[in-house]
Amino acid sequence: MQIIHTVAEFRRWRETAGAVAFVPTMGNLHAGHLALVRTAAQHAPDVAASIFVNRLQFGQGEDFDRYPRTLDEDAAKLRDAGVAVLFAPDEAELYPRVAQHYQVEPPHLQNELCGAFRPGHFRGVATVVAKLFNIVRPDVACFGKKDYQQLMIVQGMVRDLDMAVRIVPVDTGRDTDGLALSSRNRYLSPDERAEAPRLYRVLRRVADALRGGACDYAALERQAAAELSAHGWTVDYVEIREADTLNIARVGMARLVVLAAARLGQTRLIDNVEAFSNGAALAV
């Protein structure tokens, strides 16, 4: 596996490569990231990964400075997974003018759900993903469904800006007790880690109710949030949305997704569960 730190060197590598599948990450890799790599390998002969902790998507008071930087360990995992090239630029390389004067502005969705609690976050995500797509020029890029809102925004950006890359969604990796894999799980205390799978269980119950024909969405959302709050969570939101667009859900829609963000102590966790009216409720 080659490790490349500059845009110019990566572009030289790309000139001689064939079809490329791309997995962008912020590092501190876990089994969920490696599942993205395995999926990417099914779509192109060469897999490229990136590791870059993107300052633009962290808000004031968030964990940019303490976000784990584990490049050597991450590179070993990617090498073992069969990645052909790792692009690992530093901040000066990717943002050489310090301020990124031109940014990608997503539509109103960026200010809803997680965006309501993290102003500017999805602008930062869209901007860095657009830059990486311009550098890597992948044929395929794999994104996990755990951050469902991010996936929808990236898909919309690619569609509206006619980017020549196909986005492949990948189901969320989970621990044996159902907790969605996340780099931030390491911040949980032992007691918080034991409580954390409740988020997935609560969302599954909402999805099951939807599958069973429940249509009082507001009541389902309130009940789910109340259960989390009763067990020590600070709930940002629990919402039922239309799965293909994240528009506000209306009764009769065939494809729904239940999304939530909540804190245990200082750790903010997100998760979601898809619910389809044909009777199949799928965890993502």
183 is an annotated ligand-binding site residue = yes
Report phi then psi at 10, rounded to 5.
Answer: -65, -40
Q: Is 26 annotated as a binding residue?
A: yes
Q: Is 181 a known ligand-binding residue?
A: yes
Is 155 annotated as ligand-binding?
A: no
Q: How many residues does the chain have?
A: 284
- 101 labelled catalytic: no
57 labelled ligand-binding = yes
Kindly state the tokens that stand for 242.
Answer: 């239309």
Is 18 annotated among the ligand-binding residues? Answer: no
Residue 223 labelled as part of a binding site: no
Binding site annotation covers 150? yes
CB 25 within 8 A of CB 57: no
Question: Is residue 229 part of an annotated ligand binding site?
Answer: no
Give helix then strand counts, H and E, for the chain: 10, 9
Interatomic CA distance for residues 141 and 73, integer angstroms: 23
Confirm whether residue 184 is marked as ligand binding: yes
Catalytic residue among 5, 33, 43, 101: 33
CB 109 within 8 A of CB 115: yes
Is 182 annotated to bind a ligand? Reply is: yes
Q: Following DSSP, what letter does each residue of 76-140 receive, concatenated?
A: HHHHHTT-SEEE---HHHHSTTSS--S-----GGGGSTHHHHSTTHHHHHHHHHHHHHHHH--SE
Rg of the chain's alpha carbons, rounded to an integer? 19
List, as residue ranges, the binding site: 26-33, 57, 144-147, 150, 173, 181-184
Annotated binding site for beta-alanine: 57
| Residues labelled catalytic | 33
For the annotated binding site for ATP, the residues are 26-33, 144-147, 173, 181-184
